[in-house]
A and B are shown apart, each in its own frame.
Chain A
């Protein structure tokens, strides 16, 4: 239909909470590209980096007020508004042992997306529509000046930790600071901090942590499952034709899945380069560090659930879903390690 092709495309101006040079921003671009292709150019997402129109931490409020049509963000940035925000990124420990596939399952099969929407629209009174879009984990435990053998070595360290994880680490007895990405390295170089976590091997290498610290520990439990979001102003969303709404929604899922595969490869390469090119001492995080972290998270989550009914509701919903799926997957699925060890492990003949 020539008439249809002639129709003026709908352009949405959207802003990220990260700078344009960052890998996380590439996910935003991937999404915009998919939407454009799927809609045959009828829906154009104009991507802008953090700070282009509003500062990063004001993105969700700005989307709600219609200052921008949408945003590319991370729910934990808003957890000052309500701690339940952290759960929608797939909180600490998964939560309850879930991985990225289970998280997506909870969202679309376990009522998670409904709660996510209720959270923003009714609890935080924000005029936004949300979808999960970018798996950004499993995040590394972090970089350290000196090696750590057990949790005791963490005490007395000053560590850069972001968001909710900062509160959990503080509770566990670590001195935490939350510095924006660009300030971590100067602070590390000047000895203001002794340790820090950022994202994953590929991203951490891009930041240049290996230039200052040589001890790198993986995995962490603070953001082993962490997912970023795509936001739309609700009035803008409601005005979109139904088919474009569907495209915008399904593109968030295809971006999620394609991104995850790419991200694994990207971080695998990063880990390899850190060891082989930069001589980084990469080690597995001691189990007691991870357990200490999970125990402190459980305590904090229980306290929060006791005083925050919505947190409790989301937490319970995750627990119910994980309770069904996680034990079953542990039994049904062959252990990842099994064939992996056979082909690549130390036991390989």
Chain B
């Protein structure tokens, strides 16, 4: 068997292996090691090491434990309850009030983070307990949290766009600008879809019980001030300093973590037990996320080393298609690759392989990059290897993975609608860059 075919078997083995139910990180590693050993020999062990140390050197990923810490710390401060009480109060008369709250928070939070893990984790920590308490539909709740949290990777600042810029030889600043409107379009689609469904089926996001509704305007104002404003200050401290250029995303995340400690102090809840609990939870959550990232990097590297990646691409390019047909085809391929593979693997391995084709066909690269980014964002929502699901499961262990998957699938379809909009109206991506840079 050729090594390329071996890679295809590896892909199949992964899907089987994952469903057996062993921790996915270890499944990825052992499959990579076994197939890598058959295909390329004992050097696969070093391949494993180099990918691990490489990920450990990714300074920007240091923002993951920091944002996780912020979420857990604010949870210890009891801020989550206040925040969601506020949202319950403010939107209480609307069906699906918490959904709306999550999506609005997620959209705002997306401007504070460039990393998907942190967004889903923090938003999951904020929202999942409140949704469980309010007897919200689990699948729709999970969909809203994961889809909302994934906006963080698209709406700038975005680690994905920072990586994508150099790969396509496009200015990252232009990519940031290009992603803003598509991000807002997606957010709008999510809100519209969720509220419509709640309106049709009242059980999905029940109205708040009478006793939970505000009795006066003053009450709403008080809830707002005590519940939302403090978190706003912390997020503003991190986002504000990142956007204003005072800090890198990692530094901004550290300041957010520091802000969360100070806030806990102000609320009178800061003590060693709380700090220890926060520290331990942060360690567990970030080890889970980042160790899995290590594992998928190793898996992706073996897949590339076996040459299967190139085999798939060569086959594609041998097809004769009109430009728009080829673009749609590449989008479909990236979408399909997003199921088993993580986005860094796709950006680093497949996007460069498609690059000559896109150049040849003369498509605008900023537009193409935006399409790729939105497309890859759907990969986070595509089970079974869907990081967003794992991040959420990490913070909401009571929700069955099956329901999380189902909710995500619905929003994955909405993502595809968003992708179609950007495909049909390139102006959605290109207008802002043109305003700032001309042409």
B-contacting residues of A (Cβ < 8 Å)? 13, 19-22, 46, 48-55, 57-58, 61-62, 65-68, 181-183, 185-187, 189-192, 206-208, 211-212
Min C-beta distance of A65 to chain B, whole Å: 4
Contact assessment for A189 and B173 in the assembled complex, using a CB-CB cutoff below 8 Å: yes
Contact assessment for B167 and A20 in the assembled complex, using a CB-CB cutoff below 8 Å: yes
In the docked arrangement, what's the CA distance between A53 and B307, Å?
Answer: 11
Verify if B242 is at the interface (C-beta below 8 Å from A): yes
In the docked arrangement, what's the CA distance between A187 and B248, Å?
Answer: 7
Chain A residues near B248 (CB-CB < 8 A): 187, 192
Give the one of A19, A181, A211 with max B CB within 10 A.
A19
Nearest CB in chain A to that of B44: its residue: A67
Give the one of A49, A51, A190 with max B CB within 10 A.
A51
B157-165, B180-188, B198-206, B371-379 - the one binding chain A: B157-165
Contact assessment for A52 and B243 in the assembled complex, using a CB-CB cutoff below 8 Å: no
In the docked arrangement, what's the CA distance between A67 and B55, Å?
Answer: 17
A/B interface sample: 6 pairs, CB < 8 A: A20-B353, A46-B307, A55-B50, A66-B41, A67-B305, A187-B248
Chain B residues near A55 (CB-CB < 8 A): 50-51, 53-55, 57
Nearest CB in chain A to that of B162: its residue: A182
Min C-beta distance of B116 to chain A, whole Å: 18
Contact assessment for A22 and B301 in the assembled complex, using a CB-CB cutoff below 8 Å: no
Verify if B349 is at the interface (C-beta below 8 Å from A): yes
Besides A52-B304, A55-B55, A61-B46, 11 other A-B contacts (C-beta < 8 A) = A20-B355, A21-B166, A51-B344, A51-B349, A58-B50, A66-B46, A67-B50, A186-B157, A186-B172, A190-B244, A208-B170
In the docked arrangement, what's the CA distance between A38 and B414, Å?
Answer: 53
Contact assessment for B352 and A62 in the assembled complex, using a CB-CB cutoff below 8 Å: no
Nearest CB in chain A to that of B344: its residue: A51
Verify if B43 is at the interface (C-beta below 8 Å from A): yes
In the docked arrangement, what's the CA distance between A46 and B57, Å?
Answer: 27
Chain B residues near A57 (CB-CB < 8 A): 54, 57
In the docked arrangement, what's the CA distance between A62 and B166, Å?
Answer: 23
In the docked arrangement, what's the CA distance between A171 and B130, Å?
Answer: 55
Answer whether A191 and B169 are a contact pair too, CB < 8 Å, given A58-B54, A182-B162, A183-B162.
no
Contact assessment for A208 and B43 in the assembled complex, using a CB-CB cutoff below 8 Å: no
Q: Which of A54, A183, A192 contacts B245 (CB 8 A)?
A: A192
Contact assessment for A189 and B245 in the assembled complex, using a CB-CB cutoff below 8 Å: yes
In the docked arrangement, what's the CA distance between A207 and B41, Å?
Answer: 39
Verify if B219 is at the interface (C-beta below 8 Å from A): no
Give the one of B41, B53, B172, B242 with max A CB within 10 A.
B172
Contact assessment for B169 and A53 in the assembled complex, using a CB-CB cutoff below 8 Å: no
Min C-beta distance of A220 to chain B, whole Å: 21
Min C-beta distance of B117 to chain A, whole Å: 19
Answer whether A182 and B163 are a contact pair too, CB < 8 Å, given A48-B304, A62-B50.
yes
In the docked arrangement, what's the CA distance between A62 and B52, Å?
Answer: 12
In the docked arrangement, what's the CA distance between A46 and B51, Å?
Answer: 20
Answer whether A13 and B166 are a contact pair too, CB < 8 Å, given A52-B349, A55-B54, A66-B43.
no
Chain A residues near B44 (CB-CB < 8 A): 67
For the residues of A in contact with B, the DSSP-based class is: loop
Contact assessment for B168 and A53 in the assembled complex, using a CB-CB cutoff below 8 Å: no
Verify if B19 is at the interface (C-beta below 8 Å from A): no
Min C-beta distance of B219 to chain A, whole Å: 40
Contact assessment for B305 and A53 in the assembled complex, using a CB-CB cutoff below 8 Å: yes
Contact assessment for B352 and A54 in the assembled complex, using a CB-CB cutoff below 8 Å: no
Verify if B176 is at the interface (C-beta below 8 Å from A): yes
Chain A residues near B244 (CB-CB < 8 A): 190-191
A-contacting residues of B (Cβ < 8 Å)? 40-41, 43-44, 46-47, 50-51, 53-55, 57, 60, 157, 162-163, 165-174, 176, 242-248, 301, 304-305, 307, 309-310, 344, 348-349, 352-353, 355, 437
Contact assessment for B157 and A22 in the assembled complex, using a CB-CB cutoff below 8 Å: no
In the docked arrangement, what's the CA distance between A207 and B173, Å?
Answer: 10
Min C-beta distance of A252 to chain B, whole Å: 23
In the docked arrangement, what's the CA distance between A94 and B305, Å?
Answer: 38
Nearest CB in chain B to that of A62: its residue: B50
Chain B residues near A46 (CB-CB < 8 A): 307, 310
- Shortest 6 CB-CB contacts between residues of A and residues of B: A55-B54, A190-B245, A20-B352, A208-B171, A191-B245, A65-B46
Give the one of A13, A58, A67, A187 with max B CB within 10 A.
A67
Chain B residues near A207 (CB-CB < 8 A): 166, 171
Min C-beta distance of A53 to chain B, whole Å: 5
In the docked arrangement, what's the CA distance between A21 and B353, Å?
Answer: 9
In the docked arrangement, what's the CA distance between A55 and B51, Å?
Answer: 6
Nearest CB in chain B to that of A21: its residue: B169
Min C-beta distance of B380 to chain A, whole Å: 19
In the docked arrangement, what's the CA distance between A133 and B242, Å?
Answer: 40
Contact assessment for B348 and A52 in the assembled complex, using a CB-CB cutoff below 8 Å: yes
Nearest CB in chain B to that of A23: its residue: B169
Min C-beta distance of B306 to chain A, whole Å: 10
Contact assessment for B47 and A54 in the assembled complex, using a CB-CB cutoff below 8 Å: yes
Answer whether A19 and B46 are a contact pair too, CB < 8 Å, given A52-B348, A53-B304, A185-B171.
no
Chain B residues near A66 (CB-CB < 8 A): 41, 43, 46
Min C-beta distance of B201 to chain A, whole Å: 43
Contact assessment for A53 and B47 in the assembled complex, using a CB-CB cutoff below 8 Å: yes
In the docked arrangement, what's the CA distance between A104 and B41, Å?
Answer: 37
Contact assessment for A186 and B176 in the assembled complex, using a CB-CB cutoff below 8 Å: yes
Contact assessment for A182 and B172 in the assembled complex, using a CB-CB cutoff below 8 Å: yes
Answer whether A211 and B173 are a contact pair too, CB < 8 Å, given A182-B166, A183-B162, A190-B244.
yes
Min C-beta distance of B331 to chain A, whole Å: 19
Chain A residues near B170 (CB-CB < 8 A): 208
Answer whether A190 and B46 are a contact pair too, CB < 8 Å, given A52-B349, A53-B305.
no
Min C-beta distance of A147 to chain B, whole Å: 21
Contact assessment for A21 and B355 in the assembled complex, using a CB-CB cutoff below 8 Å: yes
Nearest CB in chain B to that of A207: its residue: B171
Chain A residues near B50 (CB-CB < 8 A): 54-55, 58, 61-62, 65, 67
Min C-beta distance of B162 to chain A, whole Å: 5
Answer whether A52 and B301 are a contact pair too, CB < 8 Å, given A58-B50, A62-B47, A65-B43.
yes
